[in-house]
């Protein structure tokens, strides 16, 4: 099944940059030019005539990191002593050791595309290990961190709510009604790309499907300065929304704190923080309120699950519940992380950001809950939209 103890090794690491499909925009960026790094880590373990291979990607909403991976990160892993990347059993790769090898000779700070490049590769190691153990990734994750989850499903909401130009033939109501028909009961929409008056009209339109503010979150994508942020906070406070997301610049912790001082509803942020150090600063200085506010850091953008798990430990050490974590991303990898670590929930992109957004048909969805399939690893191969990209890497 595998080579003798201690001799297992990585045979090859490959990356392909996969463009996102669709031409949509939020209040800040258009996603028409965005792509995602999909990484394959091939082991020397052979099953059913093929090498066991792990797949991972960074996340949705930024750019691929092929240059960083090929020039710096992948060569370091290829040069490493194979035994130095294994856990104590010699039967699995140690994600923490892989992370350390990938970061050799990198200076502290400078978190950005480097964090996503390492994240894509490190997550592929988790997929590979789960396949070696022949279990779904959420089971491996739970075991690794000493947890025994009470549920194998997660709360999920449908993210979307983009701006549709007049005459496009589709409305925000149409979009959310389609998600409702799929089994979603919670929704998230974009704000900040139109006037406050127009966005309030759109919120009312979305509430016609969501039914109440508790089923609807709004996301400004870091667009607002303080005055606009406070104006929106005042205008939306009566809706009782699920949360008010990424209000200002991701690193403007003072702005977040000042909004939290006057806005009683939940605030969500963190998806554009790429390190434990940045998450610590958010918890310390961002005015985040235990039992109320939401942290959205994303393993795929922040060096992988090793670093992300440290963020969860930090939150708990600072009085926050791990259920306040709702990772950004809307894809299969974060679904397994949420279930395995028993976090608060996850988002899904059922209508956009293909081929990565949303889940495989084998995942059970209904009543605002989603359950991963029983496929070993993250189950990326079960997602039809990803099969061509995975086949390019496999061949």
Q: Are 138 and 154 in contact (CB under 8 A)?
A: no
Residue among 190, 326, 336, 383 flagged as catalytic: 190
Active site includes 2?
no
At 310, give phi and psi (nearest 5°).
-65, -35
Secondary structure element (H or E) that encloses residue 334, with its range: helix 332-341
In 10 A of CB 374, how many CB atoms?
A: 11
- For residue 91 the two structure tokens come to 């039967």
Catalytic residue from among 131, 326, 328, 383: 328
Torsions phi, psi for 208 (to 5 deg): -65, -20
3-state secondary structure of 251: coil
Residue 128 φ/ψ, nearest 5 degrees:
-60, -45
331 a catalytic residue: no
Per-residue CA distances from 123 to 96, 153, 193, 264 (Å): 11, 20, 33, 36
Cis bond upstream, residue 355 (ω within 30): yes
H or E stretch covering 50: strand 50-57
Q: Which residue has the tokens 């127009």?
A: 198
CB 122 within 8 A of CB 304: yes
Q: Are strands 364-366 and 369-371 parallel, antiparallel or unpaired?
A: antiparallel
Cβ-in-10-Å burial (0-12, 13-18, 19+) of 140 comes to buried
Give residue for tokens 């919670």. Answer: 186
- In degrees and rounded to multiples of 5, residue 376 shows phi and psi of -60, 145
Parallel, antiparallel, or unpaired: how do β-strands 364-366 and 154-159 relate?
unpaired
The two structure tokens encoding residue 210: 């969501």
Closest CA to 130 of 102, 91, 100, 96: 91
Q: Cβ distance 149 to 340 under 8 Å?
A: yes
Catalytic residues: 190, 328
């Amino acid at each position: 099944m595998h080579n003798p103890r201690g001799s297992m090794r990585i045979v090859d690491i490959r990356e392909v940059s996969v463009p996102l499909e669709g031409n949509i925009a939020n209040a800040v960026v258009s996603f028409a030019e965005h792509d995602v790094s999909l990484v394959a880590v091939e082991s020397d373990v052979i099953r059913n005539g093929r090498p066991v291979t792990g797949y991972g990607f960074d996340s949705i909403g930024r750019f691929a990191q092929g240059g960083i991976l090929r020039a710096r990160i992948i060569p370091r892993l290829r040069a490493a002593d194979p035994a130095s990347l294994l856990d104590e059993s010699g039967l699995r790769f140690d994600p923490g050791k892989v992370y350390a090898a990938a970061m050799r000779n990198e200076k502290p700070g400078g978190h950005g595309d480097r964090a996503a490049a390492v994240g894509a590769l490190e997550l592929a190691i988790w997929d590979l290990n789960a396949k070696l153990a022949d279990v779904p990734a959420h089971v491996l994750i739970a075991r690794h961190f000493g947890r025994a989850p009470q549920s194998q499903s997660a709360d999920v909401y449908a993210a979307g709510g983009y701006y549709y130009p007049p005459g496009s033939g589709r409305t925000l109501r149409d979009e959310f009604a389609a998600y409702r028909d799929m089994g979603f009961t919670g929704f998230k929409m974009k704000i900040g790309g139109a006037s406050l008056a127009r966005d309030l009209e759109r919120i009312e339109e979305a509430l016609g499907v969501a039914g109440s503010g508790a089923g609807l979150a709004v996301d400004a994508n870091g667009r607002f300065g303080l005055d606009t942020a406070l104006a929106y906070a005042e205008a939306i406070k009566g809706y009782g929304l699920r949360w008010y997301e990424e209000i200002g610049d991701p690193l403007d912790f003072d702005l977040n704190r000042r909004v939290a001082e006057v806005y009683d509803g939940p605030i969500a942020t963190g998806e554009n923080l790429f390190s434990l150090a940045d998450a610590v600063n958010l918890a310390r200085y961002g005015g985040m309120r235990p039992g109320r506010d939401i942290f959205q850091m994303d393993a795929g953008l922040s060096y992988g699950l090793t670093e992300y798990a440290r963020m969860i430990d930090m939150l708990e050490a600072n009085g926050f519940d791990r259920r306040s974590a709702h990772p950004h991303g809307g894809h299969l990898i974060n679904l397994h992380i949420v279930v395995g670590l028993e976090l608060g929930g996850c988002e899904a992109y059922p209508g956009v950001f293909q081929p990565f957004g949303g889940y495989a048909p084998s995942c059970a969805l209904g009543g605002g809950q989603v359950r991963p399939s029983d496929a070993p690893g993250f189950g990326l191969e079960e997602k039809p939209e990803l099969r061509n990209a995975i086949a390019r890497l496999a061949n």
